[in-house]
Amino acid sequence: MHGDNHDAPRKVPPSMVATWESATSDPDPLTALGATRALVALLSTWEAKLAVEAVAEGATWEAIGRSLGVSRQAAWGHLHDHVAELRKHDKS
């Protein structure tokens, strides 16, 4: 499982790269702080996309939880709505 089906690295969205750059290099701490908050939201979406990949490859919620350092119930509670929404979006 562990990404064996993926030959190429994942492409990081340009918006995530730009937001990271702003969060880490903007001299204005308030601008960097705002970019950091935006990055948290982008990373949440990234995390959900990875969970979709894991579920599609047969991962259990127990395995996903273990990867996140939480119980399967906590992983499911945190991600199942996002996974369902992304899967629905991918089908349309």
Q: What is the pLDDT of residue 6?
A: 60
Residue 58 has pLDDT above 60, yes or no: yes
C-alpha to C-alpha distances, 34 to 41, 47, 62, 76, nearest whole angstrom: 11, 20, 34, 29
The string of pLDDT tens digits covering residues 11-44 is: 999 999 999 999 999 999 999 999 999 999 999 9
**In which band, very low, low, confident or very high, does the pLDDT at 2 lie, cut at 50, 70 and 90?**
low
- The count of C-alpha atoms lying within 13 angstroms of the C-alpha of 44, restricted to the half-sphere facing its C-beta, is 11
**Could you give the CA distance from residue 11 to residue 83 in angstroms, rounded to a whole number?**
19
pLDDT > 70: what percent of the chain?
A: 91
pTM score of the predicted model = 0.78
**Could you give the CA distance from residue 76 to residue 51 in angstroms, rounded to a whole number?**
10
